[in-house]
Amino acid sequence: MTRISPSSLPPSPPPHADAQENWVDELLLAGPGGEECLHLGTPLDRAALRALVEEQCGRLAAVGLGPGGTAALRLPPSVAFVTSLLACWRLGAQVALLDHRLTDHEIEAAVERLAPQVMVGATHGPASALRGFSEVEPEAVALPGGRPAATGHALIQLSSGSTGPAKVIARTASDVIRELDCYRRLTDFPGGGERVVLLSSVVHVLGLVGGLLNALRARAALTIPERMTTAGILTAVAASDRPTTVIGVPFHAELLAGTVAPPALPQLRRMIVAGELVRPGLAALFTERYGVPLGTMYGMTETGVIATDLSGALNPAKRPVHGMRLRLVGGELQIGAPTSPYPGLDDPTRWSDGWLHTRDAAELDEVYDLVTVLGRLDSQVSIGGLKVDLTEVEQALTSLPEVREAVVVFEDGAIEAYLATEPDADLSLVHDGLARRLAAYKRPRRLALLPRLPRTATGKLLRDPAALRDTAATAAAR
């Protein structure tokens, strides 16, 4: 990866010109000391959280972190992650979040690229993939060659890089506060006295801002299940009688909707998912199982939340959040953004003239102020001169009763589909169903049946054709 050098960065405010002094204390840590704010195995109240953040500030300062400094966090979901993040910001440092599930090689590449002055990691190896959180001690180490912040951004995140090299995405404290204000205006989003059961990763934007930071700001208690299984999630929901909202990705909703006879959960108000398009029928199935809506959100790491349908009444459309500017150019959805969120990257196909290019196809209904995201523009391919939208093919497949999940890819001039099906599914019924729903040129040349589809670390379906073929070959061999 190419290291970002200060000379390659565009002109920007000096470090922490936008720091919103004391925003961590005033917005995230404030509140009655005895009020429960986090529950990761055991409850943690605000007084205890403030004390832990203060203690971590001392540890980080001892290794040289201060205003305008840079730190990278490589921690699993944990109290240590929360306290280290808030302590870094409280010290006026810029924080880069690295997913703890990355390999050492990937971490080394990210460190070379970002050049943080301090690395905060855990003192033990990786936990089980099904663990919701870990009990770890943070360890802060000064890194040779680290550089101070070259911009006034508070948060640095790396995109998944599933369709190319990971992008470095930067947000200021004001950006984060603006997004928190958007959540505050959403009447159906969890607020004071309520509770959040968080399933999304805290190093990615939904889990971080919509889950962790909003819960602290809104004074809603946040719980992470001990295990990310159906039983573990339901146990976490049932553990308190407070009004509860579950936040995750569509995969988690599929997991819960697969429970034929779930227990009565009168405290459950809704589930909210984001990150991928929700397959047809999932929202209705989830509501049938639990008697509450499956709300959806659309957003990007670059901007946070963009549009929501928390009641499930608008599906598949969503309503833009307060202050969000949207437009369509050539069928592509673009988002108003006064500055580029990509430090060191001058790419007009991603951001230009105050507009962020989402590369998502969409429809805008200006009369009713609604946006409907249709899928990625790069999912459109040409078959014999005819345009085919691979998202449409996926939705046709997942609408079939035999198919639980589907990924459709285009490789070597042909469409291939990888399916997770119900046990003993009849492939001829899948072919028949597709023949009724899609023109012949849109149908996949090959259907591969798998017990489950591979996913990325964030729970999104993997779309790399080579990896999908390897998974199918392994399943066939077994």
How far apart, in whole angstroms, are the C-alpha atoms of residue 24 and residue 92? 10
Same domain, yes or no: 35 and 163: yes
**CATH (domain of 40):** 3.40.50.980
Locate all alpha helices (DSSP H) within 123-229, ordered by sequence: 173-185, 205, 214-218
How far apart, in whole angstroms, are the C-alpha atoms of residue 141 and residue 127? 21
Domain boundary among 171, 188, 216: 171
Instruction: Give the pLDDT of residue 126.
Output: 54
Same domain, yes or no: 409 and 313: no
Same domain, yes or no: 19 and 153: yes
Q: Is the pTM of this model over 0.85?
A: no
Same domain, yes or no: 13 and 162: yes
Same domain, yes or no: 244 and 289: yes
pLDDT 10s digits, 31-88: 999 999 999 999 999 999 999 999 999 999 999 999 999 999 999 999 999 999 999 9
Instruction: Report whether 29 contacts 45 (CB < 8 A).
Output: no
Per the structure, the count of domains in the chain is: 4
Instruction: Give the pLDDT of residue 124.
Output: 63
In this structure, the chain runs to a length of 478
Domain span at residue 366 reads: 332-379
pLDDT 10s digits, 313-363: 998 999 999 999 999 999 999 999 999 999 877 788 899 999 999 999 999
Same domain, yes or no: 10 and 28: yes
What is the phi/psi pair of residue 214, to 5°?
Answer: -65, -40
Looking up tokens 């399943």 gives: 475
Looking up tokens 């080394």 gives: 108
pLDDT 10s digits, 382-432: 786 677 888 889 989 998 988 988 999 988 888 999 998 877 788 889 999
Same domain, yes or no: 190 and 306: yes
What is the phi/psi pair of residue 70, to 5°?
Answer: -130, 140
What tokens does 417 get? 């589909």
Domain boundary among 146, 171, 196: 171
The residues pairing with 318 across neighbouring beta strands, listed in sequence order, are 371
Compute how many other C-beta atoms are within 10 angstroms of the C-beta atom of residue 191. 18
Domain boundary among 153, 171, 189: 171
**CATH (domain of 232):** 3.40.50.12780
**CATH (domain of 464):** 3.30.300.30
Same domain, yes or no: 263 and 300: yes
Same domain, yes or no: 347 and 209: no
Query: Alpha carbon of 446 to those of 407, 411, 430, 465, 472: distances in Å?
Result: 12, 11, 12, 13, 12
Same domain, yes or no: 59 and 10: yes
Same domain, yes or no: 35 and 106: yes
